[in-house]
Amino acid sequence: MKKMNRKIYMAAGYNTISMGTGRKEFNPKKERPGLEQYISEAGKGTLAQVGGARNIDESVIGNFMASRFNKQGHLAGFIPMIDEGLNFKPSIRVEAACASGGMALITGIKSVLAGADAVLALGVEVQNTMKAIYVADVLAGAGWFQKRKDGHAYFFPGQFSDRAGAYFEKYGREKTRKALARWYHNAIENARLCPTAQEFHNTTPDPGAASLKMEPNGKSFVDNLNLLDCSKVSDGASAIAILSEEGLAKCGIAKKDAVEVIGFATSERDITKNPTDLTVMETIKDAAHKALANAGITINDLATIETHDCFTIAGILAVEALGFAKPGEGADFVYAGNTARNGKIPMNTTGGLVGWGHPTGGTGVHQAVTIWEQLTGKTGDAQIDIPSEKPYGMTINMGGDDVSVVAIVYRKN
């Protein structure tokens, strides 16, 4: 993608609560909302801001594993359930593992480029239907399942533990552990400012110190990461409208209340092969820099980034993939506070996957909602300063172990 043939905007974002352990309302022994409730809440939340279903031309829903978590496929058929005005309008479901939400955004963008004026994009996952060890088995489907029998019981924590171990060996364990703890601290600090975040109720006095104190233990979990280094099992949904200029007018949305999409890219790595280097996120690097090039800006123009920190080590590796730090220096960059909400490049300002939560199919859309909120000043207590000379934000949504990546660049109007 070199140049878009029409302007693309996003507006009217909505997040449900990211539900799971950590929320006061969560009780695993009691019945909880299902797919239908989350899809309906998020969809209605966006429709209420665009003048209703009559203004939507088509819809796209991102989801990873409802067929296993909820024994439910055919999710596109749930879109008309949101509002009878969506009956008989086009709807499609897309999947790209944990990047399913981002792929829903890309699908919606392409629909607008092809002629639609208003697309409802929604991402959803309900995962707390199983115990964590069984969730790990389902999520292993985001990797090559042929490797499952040889992998760790907690498959993806094991994969990223291996990345952390390689980083420890190459660049130093002590400084890296401190940086992982700082990433966790930032995540909790930001989540406490966002009422829909899974860690909103977290009252740990010093989250970073708590994480650093919790030594990884391969006998009970994985070798190089502790439980606080991992995003939690989450239920939730997010929605946003993708619009042309005509769509903005039709929905009665002023440009100041929308963000413009000025660049995007997707990138795919061979799922059957191991990463070339465990200390490098090569697919994130490829997609992010393509998106920035398409937007005509550099990383130094960005005011904030939402990156896919399914594990704290993924945050450090993303910092290096983006080019904010040289290989081996991402840990130092993070530990120095550069990615904190008042740092050089604030990342994951409502908590990211570690703090806000990771309802897998919904994460990419949640990232877009956060960037829309930040660039339009709608983030409430979680709002950061957006300098006038840096009116840009970016989302990076990853599926699997750096296999599928969606990167999108946004500009404040």
> Any idea which residues carry the catalytic annotation?
98, 358
- Measure the CA–CA gap between 339 and 186, rounded to whole angstroms: 8
- Measure the CA–CA gap between 143 and 271, rounded to whole angstroms: 6
Query: Is residue 235 a contact partner of residue 19, using CB atoms and an 8 Å limit?
Result: yes
Q: Which residues are CB-neighbours of 101 under 8 A, at least 6 positions away?
A: 62, 123, 238, 361, 362, 363, 364, 365, 366, 367, 368, 397
- Measure the CA–CA gap between 88 and 267, rounded to whole angstroms: 33
Query: Is residue 156 a contact partner of residue 143, using CB atoms and an 8 Å limit?
Result: yes
Q: Which residues are CB-neighbours of 37 under 8 A, at least 6 positions away?
A: none
The DSSP bridge partners found for residue 398 are 405
- Taking CA atoms, 299 is separated from 284, 310, 322, 390, in Å, by 14, 22, 7, 10
CA dihedral 109, 111, 117, 121 (to 10 degrees): -60
Q: Please, what is the Cα angle at 216 between 228 and 178, to 5 degrees?
A: 65
Q: Which residues are CB-neighbours of 48 under 8 A, at least 6 positions away?
A: none
